[in-house]
Structure formats: C-alpha cells, structure tokens
C-alpha cells in the first residue's frame, strides 16, 4: 500500500499580476502552505488568519532571486528520483500536474530547453542509470515511448506528424489484465537520450496550445507522456522480466471563462477541460472517501473512471497499481485567491488516496518459474519412489513422463524468451 504523494508549487508573479499590482497571498514554511484571503481594501496588510494545508512537499518558487527558491533540479531530486526508483524495481509510476491555467504545470513537467522540467530530467536519469547498470549487471533494457493528448475528449497521437488528422480520435479500449489502453497509439523504441529528446520535441510541437487571457502559450489539452520500461535478466539461470509503465501527465488548466477571456473555440475547449477536471475531482473524492481518516472503509463506493477519457486512461494511476505523485501548481497572487484555494483543497483531498503498487512480472517468465517449481516437485517424487521399492512401476513412469515434458517446455520457453531479448 502507498499513499498518493502530494506536492504544491507556487510560481513567481507574472506580468499580468504585476500590472494589476497584485499582492502575494501564499506563504510556505517547511511542508505547509498558507493562503490569506485578500482584504477588500487592497492597500491593507493581510491581517486575517490564513488557511493552512500540509502536504508532502510545499515548494516556494515565487522569488527566483532568493537562494531558497525551489529549482527544477530540486523537484527532480525529490519527486523524479522516486519515479526512477519505482521503474527499476518494476512498479508502475505516475506524476500528474494539476492547477489553474498559467500556474506552471507545463513549466514544472516539461520546462524549457535551458531549464528542464521533470519529464526531460526523468528521461535523462533513466538513460544514465541504464548505462551505469549495464556496466555492472548482466541486465537487458527496453524503453518505449508514447505521447498523446486528450483534446475535446478525443485522443490524438502526438508522435505522428499532424498531416493526417484523426478527427474521431483514437479509441480507448480495456484489456482484461493490463487495463485501459489506446488502440493504434504509436510506441517508439528509444535507444539513447538524443532519440528521447527528439520524440519529446516532436510531441510538444504537435500539442494543441493557444494564447488566452491567462497564458500566452496555454495547453488546451491534457498531455500524457508514457514510458514503458522493461528489464530482463537471469537470476541463477531463471529468466526474470519486469515491466514498468510511467505516466507523466501535464493536465490542461482549469479556467474561468471571464479571466481567461475565452470565446468560440477557446470557450468550447475550456468547457471540455473543466468538465474532465471536475470528473477527475469526483474520482479523487470517491477514492479519498474509500480511505477516510487513514482507515479503508468497507463501504461500496462507485468510482466514475469511465466518465472521462482522462480518468479512464489514468485508472491504474489513481487508486490502483502505481506509485503516484500529484503536483498542484498555484499562482501567488490575490487576484487568483478562489482558484488557488480550490486547487489547495483538491490537493488536500488527493492526499487520502491509497494505491496498491505491485511488481509487474512478465507472464511467460511467470509460467517458466512455475514450471521449474513443478519440475523440482516431480524430481522429488521420483527420488522418493526409487527409494521405496513397493511403488507401482507404472506410476513412476507417468511421473517421469510428466517431468520430461515439463523440462522440455521450460527449455523451449527459455529459448524463446532469450531469443526475443537477443533481437531487442
Ligand atoms: N516556477 C516558475 N518559475 C518561473 N516561471 C514560471 C514558473 N512556473 C511557471 N512559470 C512561467 O509562467 C508561465 C505559465 O506557465 P505554464 O505555461 O507552465 O502554465 P500552465 O499551468 O501549464 O498553463 P496552461 O494550463 O494554460 O497550459 C510560463 O511563461 C512559465 O515559464
């Protein structure tokens, strides 16, 4: 069992907020974040007692001049390294950034070329750990990447040049064992950091962005960057293979039509964005209710995963088999008081979600292991039979036949598995 980890990050005042002579109403100390209601007389000090929330991390990035300002590297150090640890241990992992439009989600997840966010840093960290481990242990690695956006409830592949628009979007289906997936989504095999960087850049260029009243380059879609990371090795001649799925999610921002000053297409996008974020909120609330006060309830609670494409695709990351982190990004300004308070409450609720991550082992490898156990059981039986002379010879022959069949199957499956990895 693992509780969802929650971090909150506050960005510096932006140009618009400075033009409005906004006051900073968010203060952080240790892992607590306090927000003060702006007084109606904007010249006054913020005297009122604020509301305080405790999270796993409260990151103050509001003043880049201060030495305590939390950098992109620090965020990777705290949150990204957990993702890598989970991946190398064979667990699924997910990080998703939630917050008002223009609050710093894309900056935190993707960043800029000279100020990289979590996604590029995690990718670099992955390859540097692979090259380190490949020197020390006899392990093979395979890394595949997909990048999609959910725009107006439709799934688009971001790793295909946008020459052929898939108007209907790609279909989301559900595998009985592996859960929801996107049909025909491209999976690109990546061999080194440069190939990874090219794919990230291609996907980012394809992502739907537009200028709104709140953000010059506002993401109008939810972006899901997925790494499927497989490791294979022999453990005392027994094949082992683990698969870890890492979802890195940059959600579109919640917005008020009046502050974002949206009309027409932008307004429709905004309505779809808000709708799916409300459903995400309902899923989070329902999951949090399952674990009220740190105790899991016996109550049957319906989780509305299927009400939006976003929650359906993130089903395992929210309340399932994944080590998951939420980063809530906020503005420091009084003009955004209500949105910021709502984000802080949303994040606070998410703290109650408890996931149950398990190591994902390859099914064929599991079969090989089970067959090997059966082989040693049969060998034991035969040895016993040879020592006791009154055992019927025909039952010994049967056991021997079964043993030989199982040994041949183990050999065959191990050969197939080794040649699959040889090709990779
Ligand atoms: N911690 C930060 N330090 C410096 N600049 C930041 C920080 N966070 C955000 N910014 C800047 O604020 C602007 C808006 O940030 P960003 O685009 O990441 O917001 P967003 O939450 O992704 O918005 P949207 O939901 O509209 O896509 C960008 O110019 C970004 O560089």
Residue-averaged pLDDT of the chain: 88
Question: Which is catalytic among the residues 80, 104, 125, 213?
Answer: 104
Q: What is the pLDDT of residues 225-236, one digit of tens each?
A: 999 999 999 888
Bridge partner list, 234: 239
pTM for this prediction: 0.89
Per-residue 3-state assignment (H helix, E strand, C coil) for 64-102: CCCCCCCCHHHHHHHHHHHHHHHHHHCCCEEEEEEEECC
Q: Is 204 in the pocket of ligand 1 (CB under 6 A)?
A: no
Residue 134 has, within 13 A of its CA and on its CB side, a CA count of 10
- 159, 150 contact by CB (below 8 A): no
Q: How far apart are CA 252 and CA 196, in angstroms?
A: 23
Of 58, 97, 100, 106, the residue with max ligand 1 atoms within 8 A of its CB, to mutate for a pocket test, comes to: 106
Q: What is the pLDDT of residues 39-73, one digit of tens each?
A: 776 555 555 678 999 999 999 999 989 989 999 99
Q: What value of ipTM does the predicted structure carry? A: 0.99
Q: Is 59 in the pocket of ligand 1 (CB under 6 A)?
A: no
Q: How far apart are CA 369 and CA 159, in angstroms?
A: 37
- 272, 330 contact by CB (below 8 A): no
In angstroms, what is the span from residue 132 Cα to ligand 1's centroid?
34
The dihedrals phi and psi of 266, each to the nearest 5 degrees, come to -60, -35
Q: What is the pLDDT of residues 301-327, one digit of tens each?
A: 889 999 999 999 999 899 889 999 999
Residue nearest to atom 23 of ligand 1 (CA): 102
């Amino acid at each position: 069992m693992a509780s969802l980890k929650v971090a909150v990050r506050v960005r510096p005042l932006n140009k618009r907020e400075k033009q409005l002579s906004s006051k900073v109403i968010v203060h952080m100390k240790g892992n607590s974040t306090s927000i003060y209601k702006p007084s109606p007389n904007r010249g006054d000090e913020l005297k009122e007692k604020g509301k305080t929330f405790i999270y796993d991390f409260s990151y103050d990035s509001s003043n880049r001049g201060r030495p305590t300002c939390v950098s992109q590297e620090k965020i990777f150090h705290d949150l990204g390294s957990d993702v890598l640890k989970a991946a190398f241990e064979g667990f699924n992992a997910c990080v998703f950034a939630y917050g008002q439009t223009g609050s710093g989600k894309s900056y935190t997840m993707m960043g800029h070329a000279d100020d990289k966010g979590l996604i590029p840093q995690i990718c670099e960290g992955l390859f540097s750990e692979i090259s380190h481990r490949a020197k020390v242990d006899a392990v093979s690695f395979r890394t595949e990447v997909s990048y999609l956006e959910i725009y107006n409830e439709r799934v688009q592949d971001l790793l295909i040049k946008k020459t052929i628009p898939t108007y209907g979007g790609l279909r989301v289906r559900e595998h009985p064992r592996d859960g929801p997936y996107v049909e025909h989504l491209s999976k690109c095999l990546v061999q080194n950091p440069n190939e990874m960087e090219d794919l990230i850049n291609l996907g980012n260029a394809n992502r739907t962005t537009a200028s709104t009243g709140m953000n010059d380059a506002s993401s109008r879609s939810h972006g899901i960057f997925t790494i499927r990371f497989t490791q294979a090795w022999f453990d005392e001649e027994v094949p082992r293979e683990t698969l870890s799925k890492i979802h890195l999610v940059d959600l579109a921002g919640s917005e008020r039509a009046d502050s974002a000053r949206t009309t027409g297409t932008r307004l429709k996008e905004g309505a779809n964005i808000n709708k799916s974020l409300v459903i995400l909120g309902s899923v989070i609330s329902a999951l949090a209710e399952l674990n009220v006060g740190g105790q899991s309830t016996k109550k049957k609670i319906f989780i509305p995963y299927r009400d939006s494409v976003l929650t359906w695709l993130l089903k395992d990351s929210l309340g399932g088999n994944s080590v998951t982190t939420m980063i809530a990004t906020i503005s420091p300004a009084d003009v955004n008081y209500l949105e910021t308070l709502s984000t802080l409450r949303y994040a606070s609720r998410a703290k109650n979600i408890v996931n149950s991550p398990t190591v994902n082992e390859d099914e064929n490898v599991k079969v090989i292991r089970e067959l090997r156990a059966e082989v040693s059981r049969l060998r034991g039986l035969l040895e016993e039979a040879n020592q006791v002379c009154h055992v019927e010879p025909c039952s010994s022959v049967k056991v021997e036949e079964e043993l030989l069949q199982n040994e041949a199957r183990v050999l065959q499956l191990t050969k197939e598995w080794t040649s699959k990895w040889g090709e990779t």
